[in-house]
Structure 1
Amino acid sequence: MESRVELFAAIRRDARVEELSIRELAKRHGVHRRTVRQALASAMPPARKTPTRSSPRLDPFKDAIDDMLRADLDAPRKQRHTATRILARLIDEHAATGLSYSTVRDYVRVRRAQIDLEGGRRVEEAAFVPQIHEPGEEAEVDFGEVWVVINGVKTKCQMFIYRLSYSGKAIHRVYPTCAQEAFLEGHIDAFETLGGIPTRHIRYDNLTSAVLAVLHGGDRRRKENDRWVLFKSHYGFDSFYCQPGIAGAHEKGGVEGEVGWFRRNHLTPMPEVESLEELNEKIRAWEAADDSRRITGKLNTIGTDYQAEQNMLSPLPVDRFDPGLVLHPRVDRSAMITVRMMKYSVPAHLIGRTVRVSLRASHLIVFEGHTTVATHPRVASRGGHVVNLDHYLEVLKHKPGALPGSTALAAARAAGTFTAAHDAFWAASRKVNGDAEGTRELIDVLLLHRSLPAEAVAAGITAALTVGAVTAEVVAVEARRHAATLDSAAAGEGGASSDRHPAAQGDVGEHRVVSLTQRRLTDPAAVIAGLPADTRPLPSVAAYDELLPRRAAAATSTADLTKASTS
């Protein structure tokens, strides 16, 4: 199909070459004489006029629709009129039965934008003024949502991002939440990793971890959280808060873009890790590799600009700020405390008491007075729990039957702290000592983990099983010997411990343990652990029997003398 530009060109060519009249040109090209005159006047066809479409059915109701839209200027965001609601009101209040939804929708879409602009709610065109950032002066902070597969479970986490405005050097840390403890801990990690603090300010949006309320009045005043004010005072920096909502996103556009770039390039597909600590270690390696990246519009790489900026940062204070949030939960009858809807175990002797908790971004610490009694990783999923078998050992010593089906034992098996060696010792001990006493022996072995390394206790269990002496005393002796051997090797002494039996000095791996208790509980005819046969004769009391007549005779003589003296 011939375009209007080609049509105008053909008309102008025929008029120039053949010198045809306007009537003849119009007849040849099948157009109106007005079109011929336009072609002869200009090679560019005039723009087509868009016809103004009238809405005779809608016209009587336009004022009513405008009133509804103007009322929305002061209404809450989630309670403003939709096109559906406007049509319903027109039908109910104005008997507008002849209107269609599409007619109302198209008018509302255009008119709402115009009324918002008139009311000052919407800016017609946003104008941006390019800014420069001096080295060491500014940084930007934000949180971004990320999904991580932790131990096979898809979990929503929060990524803290701190970005230097001049070089673009950024620190990323993934935490279970974006609560204030994660906010503060992310700052501390960033300050210490980068080796300094910006001299001018750090830009933020209105995070609840820092801002309690936005104070209106034409400026950027905020009501800040007291702990956040204390943190800023400790590290000596100022905060700059962006405009609320989407209008202020461009004021920290560097970190906004960093969130998406890092998530697309390093966290896609979703990383699969055992813990957030493992993920954050990987992130540190990615950050180091990103130093060779060049940001669009810059001449140097991130690493080069950061080297120039690092010396411009303010030094860190001598003391490190404690980012933990202090809480005081009460220990329930299951020796558990509830912190932010998650449950954590504590030693059973604290049941019914109130403890002090320091809640950190990735873990929490439980104190009894000034003594640390428990440290747990922070649970990422709501309603989760962390149970430590060690916290229940004293209770299980009195209730051994509760151990097999306990949540603490299942958690210890899942974590790998209750090993196959423990299970083997437990089975052997129950076979010899019975269920209750055998379980108590196992609990005594588990108590050894409080004072000895896990490797030493495992070696003690292996030695006891090898010789068939499944008692906690034997495990303790061999575990201490193994620990002493490890200490000697670590100190460079080598060899076996000096308190070990000389027969075993030649081969540290050979265990010559003899349990007299075990011998007494088993068949006397069996040869236990290489114990030599007892060839000694049975003991005799014949020599003592010879003394009995002499004692009887002496007693008779004494009685006769007493009788004679009294008579």
Structure 2
Amino acid sequence: MSDLQTHSQRTAAARAGFSERTARRIDADPTLPSNRKIAHGRTVADPLEGYWEADLLPLLAKDSALQAVTLLRHLQSLHPLAFPDDRIRRTLERRVRQWRALNGPERDIIFRQSPEPGYMAQSDFTHADDLGVMIAGQPFPHLLYHFVMVYSRWEHVGVVLGGESFTALAENLQQALWSLGGVPHNHRTDSLSAAFRNLTSDQRQDINQRYEAFVGHYGMETSRNNRGEAHENGAVESQNRHLKTAIAQALILRGNRDFVSITDYRRFVDLLVARRNRQRADAVLAEQAHLKPLPARRTTDFIETVVPVTRTGGFLVKSVFYSAPSQLIGQRLRVHVYDDRIEAYLGATLVVHHPRARGRDDGHRVHVVNYHHVIHALRRKPQALCNSVYRDNLFPRTEYAEAWKVLQRDLPRRDACRRMVDLLFIAHERACEAELAHLLAADLACGTLPDPETLTLRLMPRHMTLPTDVPVAHPSLASFDALLGGAA
């Protein structure tokens, strides 16, 4: 306004730092901005006037879950000339959002909790396929069981081979409690819907009773978050993401995601978790003072079933065939089913154990066969090998399977079966499965047909001459008397 006394309006506006149009507006209304009343109003006509209250509000009042794009399509079907395109979509979205804020239904509120030491632990399963872990060159799809103490963030992680199940939960939870050295007052999980999938009502009831008996043994209360409300299990849900990120970073540092065996991978995960827990040592010490003591012994963390051993030399567990020594045919075994193994007992004696397998979705029977169980019967009937339903599961190593392919290709069926059975018998009788596999691989690489007699000679132990003049100093009996006297 001072520059306007000596300069033109354009020059005065430029010197003040705003446009000439703003200068004209200020000249038209000399009232100070602080004294002006701000007039709120629309600058353009409301495109939804006459349609919002008549056509849309009744629908929203009936069901507030309707989306703005659904309402727009409804308007376009009722008034195609008024709404030929999606030009008002953003306006409609803002209008619906404002209506929900003022008139919508009540929404849930997340109440942040102050953790109490020693009170709550949380368990969860999380998929780990995106880590890209491989075992012996093969992809390894698996889950991670994750146990977290809410107060100290102490964690335990278990590699789960199958899906979510009672055995996977109980076995890993029990291991976590004994590693922690105490028992929390409350154990929280999700709804465990995956563990009950494809089960009958009786089976669900049985697993519920087993779980209640399990936590009752440790004196824990149980709680579950509501279905679909993952934030109610937030302590372990957030740790899932951090854990998998830490494993992924450790795999990058390792330079290789391929492990020799599942045991090596489990050791890798255990070492990583131990390093993470060392950073929480002070909080864990504070929490352990509030934990309940462990019971005197562990409890059942498996599912037990009783099965007969059939004339086929094995038994069925969850539609999977497992072999057994032929002496057990006709006996009934108590089988303990774990997540990664099965153990079969005759009375109180462990007689059979196998890695656990899972059935296939295509209906084909899965076989887990230990050739030591059937080799004597197979040696009496070597021709049974050719068309045996579990022939491909009988070979203990890939070298034996490759040898069978070559023998089957280059020899008559009768000779191929007899020679392959003899190779398996040598591995069994001489306990040289690995050494014989190396010899088979060498013969196959040279294009030589494996011959049991030749391989037996190559496996013969080397004769060594033992020395005969080894001096032995015999102590006198008096030295023992002196020793006893000194002890007295």
Say if 2:213 is the partner of 1:230: yes
SS at the partner of 1:392? helix
SS at the partner of 1:321? coil
For residues 514-533 of structure 1, give each alpha carbon's deviation from its aligned partner in whole angstroms, at most 9, with x where no partner exists.
xxxxxxxxxxxxxxxxxxxx
| Cα distance in 1 between the residues matched to 2:352 and 2:30 | 90
SS at the partner of 1:287? helix
Identical-pair percentage: 22
Match of 1:208 among 193, 196, 200: 193
Match of 2:281 among 303, 306, 315: 303
Match of 2:96 among 102, 105, 111: 111
Counting matched residue pairs gives 424
Evaluate the alpha carbon distance shift between residue 180 and residue 443 of structure 1 in structure 2; reply closer, same or farther with a 3 A threshold: same
Give the aligned residue type for 1:387: V
Give the aligned residue type for 1:55: P
Which structure has more RCO (C-alpha within 8 Å, separation ≥ 6)?
2
Tell me what 1:260 maps to: 241
Match of 2:47 among 39, 51, 55: 55
Evaluate the alpha carbon distance shift between residue 31 and residue 208 of structure 1 in structure 2; reply closer, same or farther with a 3 A threshold: closer
SS at the partner of 1:120? coil
Q: Are the equivalent residues in 2 in contact too, given 1:144–1:158 (CA < 8 A)? A: yes
How does 1:133-152 map onto structure 2 within 5 Å? 133-134=116-117, 136-147=118-129, 148-152=133-137
Q: Are the equivalent residues in 2 in contact too, given 1:387–1:411 (CA < 8 A)? A: yes
Tell me what 1:169 maps to: 154
| Cα distance in 2 between the residues matched to 1:116 and 1:347 | 71
Q: Are the equivalent residues in 2 in contact too, given 1:387–1:407 (CA < 8 A)? A: no
In structure 1, the gaps of 5 or more residues are 1-14, 74-79, 213-222, 294-301, 463-467, 483-502, 509-567
Give the aligned residue type for 1:324: F
Q: Are the equivalent residues in 2 in contact too, given 1:167–1:306 (CA < 8 A)? A: yes
In structure 2, the gaps of 5 or more residues are 198-205, 441-450, 469-488
Give the aligned residue type for 2:145: F
Evaluate the alpha carbon distance shift between residue 60 and residue 118 of structure 1 in structure 2; reply closer, same or farther with a 3 A threshold: closer
For residues 260-319 of structure 1, give each alpha carbon's deviation from its aligned partner in whole angstroms, at most 9, with x where no partner exists.
1110121355943244332221111112222354xxxxxxxx122223333432221112
| Cα distance in 2 between the residues matched to 1:18 and 1:85 | 56
Structure with larger Rg: 1
Evaluate the alpha carbon distance shift between residue 441 and residue 352 of structure 1 in structure 2; reply closer, same or farther with a 3 A threshold: same
Match of 2:222 among 239, 251, 271: 239
Evaluate the alpha carbon distance shift between residue 119 and residue 29 of structure 1 in structure 2; reply closer, same or farther with a 3 A threshold: closer
SS at the partner of 2:352? strand
| Cα distance in 2 between the residues matched to 1:39 and 1:339 | 90
Say if 2:466 is the partner of 1:506: yes
Deviation at 1:23?
7.8
Evaluate the alpha carbon distance shift between residue 414 and residue 104 of structure 1 in structure 2; reply closer, same or farther with a 3 A threshold: farther
Deviation at 1:197?
0.9
SS at the partner of 2:51? helix
For residues 42-85 of structure 1, give each alpha carbon's deviation from its aligned partner in whole angstroms, at most 9, with x where no partner exists.
599989977576224x8437654444455556xxxxxx766676
SS at the partner of 1:365? strand
Match of 2:142 among 145, 157, 166: 157
For residues 397-438 of structure 1, give each alpha carbon's deviation from its aligned partner in whole angstroms, at most 9, with x where no partner exists.
232124367676654656469699x99xx99xx9xx976766
Q: Are the equivalent residues in 2 in contact too, given 1:210–1:224 (CA < 8 A)? A: no
| Cα distance in 1 between the residues matched to 2:424 and 2:383 | 12
Deviation at 1:448?
3.2
| Cα distance in 1 between the residues matched to 2:63 and 2:318 | 38
For residues 376-402 of structure 1, give each alpha carbon's deviation from its aligned partner in whole angstroms, at most 9, with x where no partner exists.
223479556533222332441232124
Q: Are the equivalent residues in 2 in contact too, given 1:22–1:33 (CA < 8 A)? A: no
Match of 2:300 among 322, 328, 333: 322
Q: Are the equivalent residues in 2 in contact too, given 1:163–1:170 (CA < 8 A)? A: yes
Give the aligned residue type for 1:171: H
SS at the partner of 1:318? coil
Evaluate the alpha carbon distance shift between residue 43 and residue 331 of structure 1 in structure 2; reply closer, same or farther with a 3 A threshold: farther
Q: Are the equivalent residues in 1 in contact too, given 2:155–2:277 (CA < 8 A)? A: no
| Cα distance in 2 between the residues matched to 1:353 and 1:72 | 64
Match of 2:174 among 188, 196, 208: 188
Say if 2:356 is the partner of 1:378: yes
Say if 2:21 is the partner of 1:30: yes
Deviation at 1:172?
1.2
Give the aligned residue type for 2:213: L
SS at the partner of 2:285? helix
| Cα distance in 1 between the residues matched to 2:455 and 2:24 | 114
